[in-house]
Amino acid sequence: MATISAPLPGIQVSEEGKLRIGDYLKWSVDHKIIGVQYAVTALFFFIIGGALAMAIRWELLTPALDVAADGTAYNQFFTMHGTVMIFLWIIPMMAGFGNYLVPLMLGAKDMAFPWLNAFAFWLIPPAGVLMILGYFAGQAQAGWTAYPPLSTMFSDGDGQTMWAIAIHLLGASSILGALNFIVTIRNMRPEGMGYFQMPLFVWAMLATSIIIVMATPFLAGGLTLLILDRVAGTAFFNPAQGGDVLLWQNVFWFYSHPAVYIMVLPGFGMLSEVLSVHARKNVFGYRAIALSSMAIALVGFTVWAHHMFTSLTPSLRIPFMVTSMIIAVPTGIKIFSWIGTIWGGKIRFNSAMLFGLGFLSMFVIGGISGVMLAAVPFDLHVHDTYFVVSHFHFVLYGGSVLAIYAGIYHWWPKVTGTLLNESMGKWHFWLTYVSFFFTFFPMHLLGMLGMPRRVAVYAPEFQTLNSIVSFASFVLGISTFILLYNMVYSLIKRKQAGPNPWRALTLEWATSSPPPAHNFHGDPVPYKNPYGYGTEAAYRYLEAQEAELGKSWPNLEEEPARALKPSSSPAGD
């Protein structure tokens, strides 16, 4: 039935179907391997970016210059930190989840273009290496936003050019990956799964991919001009020779505002899965969540100039303030839908769920400070201060990264077949959650008190708050290693998870863990409503699945819901 796809060429799976580490180090067109490759590469860069964050915070422990040799060195720290975190950690990590999960959730055997998929991944390591090699050529130091003239006249090293080329490659990778997702989602759904029966993570990936295809080329165009300015002697961004300096800001934010949704929408998707599964409850407002992603994707193209309130013609400020506030509405819809989802559920407080709830709470703070920043009068005051740094860490760390953590705890059993240690997971959560809050919340205050961002030396009156922030950030840094240790530990311990440890209804669980090379044993039949938990029918479905695939740990003795709800309604209705 369902999807027909080509037999996968070139995958060598040993007799037992077990994958060896070597399989992950070479070219492969299997989406599961590629997904893991993305994730591991991204984690590697997360560690690099994290180390740079520690350097930044160490520098800011005292008002004087102590770690960085000079201001330039500090500029390089935060430039690399920001770029690595965004382009080499969050975006590839989300692509990794997408690669692993989308075909499985659709009951497909692979992505639409397996070869292209591999190609898109293999653009990333060279780009990352290129960016880091810039260190030997005068590292980029113009911030991740690379505004000219900082990135043109005031960056002589070749590092900035290498940086631009690396971002170009990463952008290309991301576009190729995204069009693969769109085609896969549109053409490879199984029979019986319309758009409104898709898991919400798939919806989120669809919206993300549309944004990537439409927005990333703006960045590519801007980078092309930047590279020309740097190497070919043009002056697109130099007003002295007839260029214009705002062009970059416009083009950059045409991309980069939509890009914040590229970074967070997949997280939203993961959150919908995690909350529903572990609250054992139907998602509240399925259609609202699905369509608000699309709304965000479109409205996201109309708000970019809120990053430019201070450089913009004053008459355009109000229109962009209005659109920026409008875009908070679909996000708010999601938040309330998630609260509705967990409301009255039989919540399992395991690590995945804890991180999910952590996301929910912290992202709300980031969202609210975002609306504050969208208000022109307020933004004019806190623009380029630590308030902004605080805001985007609440959405990026509190949002995307916590979502990624939730996703890791949730899908690790599927990917590896083993379980992560729960008590370590809880330690990880609580340490991260608390130290995260104390790292980034005081930055709001610092910003409102007037501490500018991107400075290595600051006024002594900010010392106390900065020390609190720095100490908390060291704890935050260390807490990450609990997760890494947990991963290694679980791979050594090999506590078997079984096919469906969370008793989830989406299709990625309807196969063994890890899934065989062709993903499913036969053609999987999707349950009508991927979130129809707590109903008799869902219970029977899971029972039948267990009979077919074998038992799972923790072998939850779940009661079938007594009240026979009208369970057959598909998710969309």
Query: Rounded to whole angstroms, what are the CA distances from 342 to 103, 241, 403, 560?
Result: 27, 59, 16, 19
Q: Which residues pair with 496 in a beta bridge?
A: 418
Residues 33, 19: Cα–Cα separation, whole Å: 9
295 binds another protein (CB under 8 A): no
Residue 528's SS3 state is coil
Tell me the three state secondary structure of residue 465.
Answer: helix
For the chain, the first-to-last Cα distance in angstroms comes to 25
Q: How far is the CB of 327 from ligand HEM (least distance, A)?
A: 20
Cα distance between residue 141 and residue 439, in whole Å: 24
Closer to ligand HEM at the Cβ: 384 or 523? 384
Residues within the interface to ligand HEM (CB under 6 A): 50, 53, 56-57, 78-79, 81-82, 85-86, 90, 143-145, 389, 393, 396-397, 400-401, 439, 453-455, 473, 476-477
| Cα–Cα distance measured from residue 535 to residue 456, given in angstroms and rounded to the nearest whole number | 57
Of 138-197, which residues contact another protein (CB under 8 A)? Answer: 175, 179-180, 182-183, 186-189, 191-194, 196-197
320 or 462: CB nearest another protein? 320
Of residues 32 and 453, the one with the C-beta less far from Cu ion: 453
Kindly state whether residue 112 participates in binding another protein, applying the rule CB under 8 A.
yes
Cα radius of gyration (the chain) = 24
Give me the count of residues in the chain.
573
Query: From residue 451 to residue 490, what is the string marking binding to another protein with x (rule CB under 8 A)?
Result: ----------------------------------------
CB 475, min distance to another protein, A:
42
- Among residue numbers 361 through 380, which ones bind another protein (CB under 8 A)? none
Nearest approach, Cβ of 24 to ligand HEM (angstroms)?
Answer: 24
CA distance 271 to 323: 26
Kindly write out the interface string for residues 499-528 of this chain, putting x where it contacts another protein by CB under 8 A and - elsewhere. Answer: -----------------------xx-x-xx
Among 257, 280, 281, 317, binds Cu ion (CB under 5 A): 257
Assign residue 563 a region (left: φ > 0; alpha: ψ between -120 and 50; beta: otherwise).
beta
Q: How far apart are CA 40 and CA 133, in angstroms?
A: 20
- The answer to whether residues 42 and 89 touch, using CB atoms and an 8 Å cutoff, is yes
The residue among 42, 53, 54 whose CA lies nearest residue 80 is 53
Among ligand HEM, another protein, Cu ion, none, the one that 429 touches (CB under a kind-dependent 5 to 8 A) is none
| Phi and psi at residue 318, to the nearest 5° | -60, -50
Q: How far is the CB of 480 from another protein (least distance, A)?
A: 35
**Interaction between residue 303 and another protein (CB under 8 A):** no
Least distance CB 324 / Cu ion (angstroms): 7
User: Which residue lies nearer to another protein by CB, 416 or 512?
Assistant: 512
Interface pick for another protein out of 66, 156, 384, 548 (rule CB under 8 A): 548
